[in-house]
Structure 1
């Protein structure tokens, strides 16, 4: 990865975490937060995407980068066709609003894949920069929806944790349906057949695939006790295990009714893991995207080997609140006029574990 400093005198020389908004990445404005344990790069000029989450102890970036040639979206560009989001997708970590998943018709307009928040430039302000912590505040007003979104990223001294506080406010005069998603993708070298995925107790759901998953290994349209998913071959697939790239498979699963809000991907061969702590209210569903060398459609053509572990407010996102899931609940949340919803997350890297049994509210990882 290449980046370029636009200035040379903005960094403090004293000990402690550091922050700068004077970077570019592929000609997109970017910011960097770092301390002794982590280096985090954020595309302030495109969605507030996190495109680097580097564990300095192992010098491994845990995030995945897309194999195709993606381009930066034009200024305040919001496409309504499904393919456009992927054409501007670098991998890493996006915030998706006001929808996630397939497109949606709205009054007076429409959305393609994953909405608009990841396709807009965000205002970036350094609100803390001292020896104890650095904080970057990101803010954007959506265009087709009257939502204001704010995100604060904080890196503290002596921690291998990124603390994130987010809020969404409805500036409109009518109640509005929405889906809010943390679109996090992890890749090699953290991801390998040596890796293990741990979640709390949960119910697994595989959606009805239709014709979209010709390389699926999982049975579709089923519910099960996580992680033991019914396989297409009649057997059982342990979703804690990671297939090799050569498996050439592609699946989508959801974890619902989770006992707690966290997940962890651990690679003992690297002595490295990544964990995320997230609130089940409102992020009650974890989307698990599994393109292990078998995602045949454009722009992937079986080139990607990654996992998407994506806390999301509901699933499936394509349906409207007027429709209901089998349990009678609407599948999209609603923000009332003037209402603000907020959530906090902690992303952490760790070592010396083979499996994870808990990620505490402050991001401490336990296991064995």
Structure 2
């Protein structure tokens, strides 16, 4: 089997967060067939396995995840989301780039070494974590229960095979603006929370954040709105706004920003505790970091310079655990979570070849 064939098998298995069992078993089966060792599912729902290296010392960790987002309305897809259509060298379907393509590519990087009768220079743990899409419970379990001494991590989220040096943190905040329901004909603006919402939106629009090295500036935007009004001629008692916050700053700064946004408004909202699914920091690996310098020559075959992800990954957990972490994976990140999700077979194969070469020649420390 090849990375492309394995990916097509994976796409045919739906694996929404918390519903990854069938996919996990298929992944474990493939790893056993390929001759990986210590193949197992841990108590956090993760799939993991080890390929022993030639030298003693800390191990590489290759990290993806099992779950993917819902496919939405299948009628909006050119190709059915779970049929894994292969057309003109491109595989289509939910999870093609996020995350089954990178999972297949990392798997077959290791398979490539074993098929050539070789071993990686250092031990390699490969992990497909559970529930990444809903906050990373699998990765949280992994760093609390590491399978061995980890020297460096390569997170294979889609990056078009570009080295990635991190991403911003992510917080989701529920803000409730309170008013008093009344007949629309009264037009009591001071009691209609939608007018308070309008002021909040203006404040968010005017908000600016300082630019940060590597990751750029933070962003804050509104993604969803809900009211409790059940009639077109009745104003609501309350409006709830969901804020999506991609941040670089620390917790104290973020709380101050939120406080100023809500100041004087009939509103309440707060950040949850850090390292809960609603509020996790990002991570940054500096360009001159030893791990970045080690991986870049292999990734530079595709992109000369490193970048950063716009979205969050499980790398936030591994970096916070003190494990040097970079990102590097096949697939266009702009196609993730869309109805056009697809990945070129050539990109999978090129990534697998470059990663196999790195693992065969480099130690993580």
TM above 0.5: no
Structure having the higher strand fraction is 1
Structure having the higher helix fraction is 2
For this structure pair, what is the TM-score category when the shorter chain's length is used for normalisation?
A: under 0.3
Based on CA coordinates, which of the two structures has the bigger radius of gyration?
A: 2
TM-score, scaled relative to structure 1: 0.25
TM-score, scaled relative to structure 2: 0.25
